[in-house]
Structure 1
Amino acid sequence: MGAGWLVLVLALCCAQARANHSLDVVRLDPARPELPMTEVVGWFGPQPRGGISTAAGGGLPFAHLPEQILPFREGRSLWLRLRVRPPAGTQDAWLLEVPVPVIDHVALYQQDASGRWFARSAGDLVPMRDWPQPGRYPFFQLQLRPGAPTELYLEVRHSTSIAVPVRVVTATTHHQRSQMEYLGLGLAIGALGLLALGALVRAVVQRDAAFGWYAAYGLVATLGLAGFTGVAGHLLWGDAGAWVDRAPGFLAILGASLVLVIVGRLSRVLARVRWLGRILQWLAALGPALALLYLLPDKRSGVMILAAYLIAVAIASLCAAAITLRRRDRVGVWMLLGALPLAICVVIALGRVTGWLQPSWLTEYVLALALTVDLPLLLGALNARSQERRSLELRRLAAEHQDALTGLMKREPFTAKLRQAIGRYTRRGEGAAVAIIELANHAWVQKTLGAERSEEALLRTVIKLRRLVRDIDTVGRLGENRFGLILEGAAMRKPMANFGARLVASGLMEEPGRPKDVPLHFHVAAVVLHERSGSADELMQALGDLLAEMGARTHKPVRFLDAGEPSTVSDGTSPAEGRSTALA
């Protein structure tokens, strides 16, 4: 009787063991790509000495892990045990993914045909050439036995707290997902790179150092984003050893220091709020030194340095943006919108360091992305500040090159425009006509009616000129009562002759509602570049001489320089006037 009870108890124990073993087997399903952690048993603690022998030999008390986020540090490791069974009739290969680009070390243990365990490793601390398959994050091809469960062991090591998601997917699903991920990351990294390149071009063309600093920040932020997403480890520096693991944090600190340089230039706090300006300068100068400290072997201390520095950068940036906005400067709006994402992500980092916010790979990833979110916003601030600066520069140039009374360009810039027109005619044969226009009765008006009426006559002259010329033509004031005109595209005399005739007629006609206005007598000396060319100074001198030859009562106020020998035509006002071809 006692022997029967003993046999029954042993049978029940074996049945329970077989039931527990069957519960651990995960049936793979292509429609469920992500493996729930509730179906995986694991163990987290000090790294076992025997490694896979201890884990597979029952030396680790595997159990269902209550939380996904684990406090990793040096000397600790996570072991996961999986028993998977492929679906019947599937032809596609299966892969195990650990989609964490910043993970330090992942090793997958499988059995070969003879039952011996072999490992494949990947992660930041493993050179890309030693990965079983290169990629942004570790993934391994599974060697499954058809129709039978396969036992797998996964070992994970990391230096800071992190979550370890696990996915078992088909090769087709993995490749489709990777292509979509690279498409999105390529668009983001490409956009940031274009912003940096455009800023570099503007820095060279406009000679603006602020855009040069922005280009440097854009390059660092782009590399930082590539580092945190695993793109740089896969394509750029996968075999660079410890640099693969430390590059994202190093670039984050360096990018934050460049942000302070740009913020200081945008807010101009050094000239307005000196104490804040000094703080920005000191923090910016401290950034490269802290970035080098981040490369030290103790990564946990490096993470603390990174969080503390970004907190200081976020606070300083918000203060500078608030002060700029308080001055009702529109640049402050752009700065505030750019500083807020960084401040929010810094709060997340602070919560992670203090322990009141659960750490995960996402918080670490978002912290680095905060340095790139404000790239377009900072560019908007730089553009707004650049427009202000260019507006001031244009007003300064206008004051130097424009006549204060008439608003027309002065003699020097007009001569420069004439040289350009002559150059276009010489190189490409583009036609143009040049004229000097003189208000002949200006001296009489000034002497008889006074300075005020003479200025009024000059302003009326400008109004009549602007009514007759096109937007592409150039008008300038060459002297007290002389004006210059460049008529673009005129290959013959007719356009200039028509203009001169209309101008002379408009000066003599009485304007409606102004019967007491003094008539304006205009003399026009012109030349067509197709007929006679030369240097700008020579043409201006010849046209001036032609005007000097015209008498006050001439009946031919519109005349052209002749390309041939001087004519003997005379209008009865002065013998010297016969040296030109006259048009009535």
Structure 2
Amino acid sequence: MDAARARPSTSYPRWALALAFLVSVSVLWISAQAPAVHSKPKEGASSPASSGAPPLVRLMAGQAKLDLLPSTQYWIDHNKDTTAPAIQASILSGQAKFVPSTSTDAHSIDGKVLWLRFDLKAREAYSQWLLELGSPLMDDVSLHWQDSKGQWKSQRAGDVLARKDWPLHTRLPTFKLQSEATDAVSYLLRIEHARFPVSLPLVVYSDSTYLAEQLKEHMMLGAFVGLLVLLGTASLSLHGLRREPVFAAYAGSLFLLGMFNLTNLGLLPLFIDSASPLISDRLNYALAGLTAALAPWLVRVIVQPVVHLRLINVLIILQAAAMLCCATWELMRPTWLSYQLLNLGTLCSIALIYALMAVTWQRGESITRWVALSCTPIALSVTPLILRNLGAIPNSWLTQYSVPLASTICLPALLYALLARSNSRREGRARAAGLPSHDALTGLPNMRSFLQHMHGSIIRANGFGHSYGLLLVELTNHAWFVKEHGREIADRALILSSVRLQQNARDMDVICRLDDSHFVMLVEGACSQAQLIKLATQISANSQMPAEALPVGSSLRLSISCALMPTKESLSQGDDAHAQLGWLVAAAEAAPKDQRKTVRSIGF
């Protein structure tokens, strides 16, 4: 019977994992099969629009920004040495047949050059307009045009140049457009890029709008970097305090993921090194390989699967060694083969991470499952990057920001899950360390600690001339719990009673368990009779709330005796803490019992 009941709970994770796998495969298949996503341009193909000029785009004073890509034409040149004047001459002679561009184009131009052609006309002279390319990872980009005197002008950006040599020292390649005259200007944009297909948005901004967009972007990226620094500092501090390798592994994965994000977003070469283009040209792919190499091992340390599968361990080691070799190859001498091996290795790393998630999920612990769920979206967010690199989808906002968004959401949740798991495992050691000063069952301060606090309160009350409060709380149905449900349920009732008292107590108040059915609360500071009665009433009302830890239909029954100390009668027994507490216990036992009255006052 028990085995039959346990089957649904064990089959649910398998259904969930199978459903997630089918959804992921379906998304990948649809993305790869979509005919409009990846266009393979035909060089030299002629069309009705290819022989004419591109549509003239008028830049009005009230416009903030404009999507320029639908108004452009493209042509792919197999000769990298062709200059802009030569392209202009080819256009006039009809040799270079430009084709209209669409937002879904993805041009594979490894070993070739992509030329984009567009015409702009500013309505006002000396109005400043800026052209921004929507990808920070471009090898070589240059903008060419003729000024009013017929002289060719050009601006150049890309990873082959240091950021200080760009027209604008920004994260994305940005060019200043011609602004001296209101005549129409024909522009030629030359793009040279290897490895993944080129599909980037082209946006024209006014100078004021561009400044506002830059401020918003810097604020968001600064918050992301600050979050990474905060999480890294917290994880290293936890590792230093608790000596647990899982926090060191978290810090290592955070560092690798942060460095990859900063390089992929164009921040690292912008703020760290403005002299060498090596950081933005090769380091991004090398960091991707290094992250893919160490990610499965770091995830294994973080999730800590109970089942030690020899096959997975061997695959993790082989994967790490192979990816480290590919990353070194990519950093020292990048080729098309090294790039493809990096993509395939990253897919293998994602598969290993999902295998670790599946093994971890079978443990059934809620905290461990939270750890697994926190790791999964980060691995899933790499999928758009791989699809872009393989040419299945065009470059877009999702391909650039999927990993930072997943990191922002999942990294804090992962650290919280790791901290919760660490606290649950350290709870036994913490309670064992607190046995000399705390109660073993409830975790409340023991009698010695309580009397020390009470002694200090008596000294302060005598010095300032005010009264302090004492509440004697009795669990009246403790004997019934022991008789009807056993000692374990009775202990649960005691623990729940201590929780109810702590929920209503202030930070300065102290609670102690006297015996099997009695608690005492020290209300620190100056207090009045009305405050004591109100506090006792709140405790009595909260204790009657139903609790899952108790049997159905049962609740706590607390009888509370409150006293404003010291009184003349208590001082006759002595002015020390032990005597004052003894007087309260004796007075509560001598007071008449009334089952209908749960709160009683003693001495007032």
TM bin (shorter chain): 0.5 to 0.7
Provide Cα deviations, 1:486-522, integer angstroms capped at 9, x if missing partner. xxxx9xxx89834232455578889579xxxxxxxxx
Per-residue CA deviation, residues 561-584 of structure 1 (Å, 9 max, x unaligned), is xxxxxxxxxxxxxxxxxxxxxxxx
Per the alignment, residue 146 of structure 1 pairs with 181
TM-score computed with the length of structure 1 as normaliser: 0.64
Amino acid across the alignment from 2:60: D
**Structure 2 CA distance for partners of 1:64 and 1:35, relative to 1, 3 Å:** farther
For residues 223-270 of structure 1, the C-alpha deviation after alignment (integer angstroms, 9 at most, x for no partner) is 322222222222222322222122333333333445434422333226
Deviation at 1:170, TM superposition (A): 1.8
Q: In structure 2, what is the equivalent of residue 569 of structure 1?
A: none
- Alpha-carbon separation, structure 1, partners of 2:516 and 2:416: 39
Secondary structure of the residue aligned to 2:175 is strand
Identical aligned residues as a percent: 22
Give the Cα separation in 2 of the matches to 1:409 and 1:106. 70
Partner residue of 2:520?
Answer: 467
Quick one: structure 1 residues 270 and 470, their matched pair in 2 at CA, closer, same or farther if it must change by over 3 Å?
Answer: same
Answer yes or no: is 1:201 the counterpart of 2:237: yes
Contact 1:402 1:408 in 2 (8 A): yes
Aligned counterparts of 1:406 and 1:138: Cα–Cα separation in 2: 63
Which residue in the other structure is 1:211 paired with?
Answer: 247
Residue 409 to residue 276, structure 1, CA distance change in 2 (3 Å): farther
Contact 1:202 1:211 (C-alpha < 8 Å) held by counterparts: yes
Deviation at 1:120, TM superposition (A): 1.5
User: Residue type matched to 1:61 in 2?
Assistant: A
In structure 2, do the counterparts of structure 1 residues 468 and 120 end up closer, same or farther at CA, with 3 Å as the change threshold? closer
- How far has the Cα of 1:42 moved from its partner? 2.2
Which of 115, 140, 145 is the matching residue for 2:150?
A: 115
1:304 aligns with 2:382: no
Report the secondary structure of 1:269's partner residue: coil
SS in 1 for 2:520: helix
1:267 matches 2:299:
no
Query: C-alpha displacement at 1:148, in angstroms?
Result: 1.7
8 Å CA contact retained: 1:225, 1:369? yes
Q: Please, what TM-score do these two structures have when normalized by structure 2?
A: 0.62
For residues 42-72 of structure 1, give each alpha carbon's deviation from its aligned partner in whole angstroms, at most 9, with x where no partner exists: 2113135331231121265142235453333
Q: Which moved more, 1:23-32 or 1:386-395?
A: 23-32
Structure 2: 5+ residue stretches without partners:
1-50, 460-511, 526-565, 592-604
Q: Against the structure 1 CA distance between its residues 70 and 79, is the aligned structure 2 distance closer, same or farther, given a 3 Å change threshold? A: same
Q: Deviations over 1:344-396 (max 9, x none)?
A: 344445545665x2342556525654772532232133122211222132244
Please report how far the alpha carbon of residue 214 of structure 1 lies from its aligned counterpart in structure 2 after TM superposition.
Answer: 1.6
Q: C-alpha distance in 2, partners of 1:460/1:132?
A: 74
CA distance in 1, matches of 2:516, 2:134: 73
Show the counterpart of 1:94: 129
Give the alignment of 1:324-363 within 5 angstroms. 324-349=360-385, 351-352=387-388, 357-360=392-395, 362=397
Q: How does 1:89-488 map to 2 (within 5 A)?
A: 89=124, 91-112=126-147, 114-159=149-194, 160-269=196-305, 272-284=308-320, 287-349=323-385, 351-352=387-388, 357-360=392-395, 362=397, 364-366=399-401, 368-369=403-404, 372-373=407-408, 374-398=410-434, 467=520
Q: Secondary structure at the match of 1:133?
A: coil
Q: What is the distance in 1 between the residues matched to 2:218 and 2:405?
A: 20
Higher RCO structure, 1 or 2 (CA under 8 Å, sep 6+) = 2
Distance apart, 1:157 and its partner CA: 0.7
- Find the counterpart in structure 2 of residue 38 from structure 1: 70
1:379-435 deviations in Å (ceiling 9; x for gaps): 133122211222132244356887879989999x98xx99xx99xx9xxxxxxxxxx
Report the Cα distance in structure 2 between the residues aligned to 1:145 and 1:505, rounded to whole angstroms.
Answer: 96
Distance 2:142 2:352 in 1: 43
| Structure-1 residue corresponding to 2:578 | 500
CA RMSD of aligned residues (A): 4.3
**Partner SS for 1:316:** helix
Match of 1:25 in 2: 56
Is 1:58 aligned to residue 93 of structure 2? Answer: no
- Using the TM superposition, give the Cα deviation of residue 135 of structure 1 relative to its aligned residue in structure 2, in angstroms: 0.4
Q: 1:99 to 1:461 in 2, by over 3 A?
A: closer
Distance 1:163 1:381, change over 3 A: same
**CA separation in 1, counterparts of 2:205 and 2:117?**
17
State the Cα distance separating 1:129 from its structure 2 match. Answer: 1.9
Cα 1:82–1:119 shift into 2, 3 Å = same
Match in the other structure for 2:528: none
Q: Secondary structure at the match of 2:290?
A: helix
Compared with structure 1, are the counterparts of its residues 183 and 352 closer, same or farther at alpha carbon in structure 2 (3 Å cutoff)?
Answer: closer
Q: Say which one has the larger Rg.
A: 1
Report the CA distance between 1:77 and its aligned residue. 0.8
Between Structure 1 and Structure 2, how many residues are aligned? Answer: 439
Flag structure 1 segments of 5+ consecutive residues without an equivalent.
1-19, 426-458, 473-489, 514-584
**C-alpha spacing 1:310/1:63, structure 2 compared with 1 (3 Å):** same
Q: What secondary structure sits across from 1:161 in the alignment?
A: coil
Inter-CA distance 283–370: structure 2 relative to 1 (3 Å threshold): farther
Contact conserved, 2:125 with 2:180, CA < 8 A, in 1? no
After TM superposition, the structure 1 stretch with the greater mean CA deviation from structure 2, 309-318 or 495-504, is: 495-504
**Following the alignment from structure 1 to structure 2, what is the Cα–Cα distance between the partners of residues 343 and 158?**
27
Instruction: Supply the distance in 1 between the matched residues of 2:326 and 2:574 (Cα, whole angstroms).
Output: 71
User: Contact 2:68 / 2:204 at 8 angstroms: preserved in 1?
Assistant: no
Distance 1:136 1:362 in 2: 15
Q: CA separation in 1, counterparts of 2:227 and 2:444? A: 43
Q: Is the 8 A contact 1:134 1:234 kept in 2?
A: yes
Where 1:168 maps in the other structure, the secondary structure is strand
SS at match of 1:187: helix
Counterpart CA distance in 1 for 2:180 and 2:89 is 21
**Amino acid of the structure 1 residue aligned with 2:577:** F
Relative distance call for 1:200 and 1:496 in structure 2 (3 A) is farther
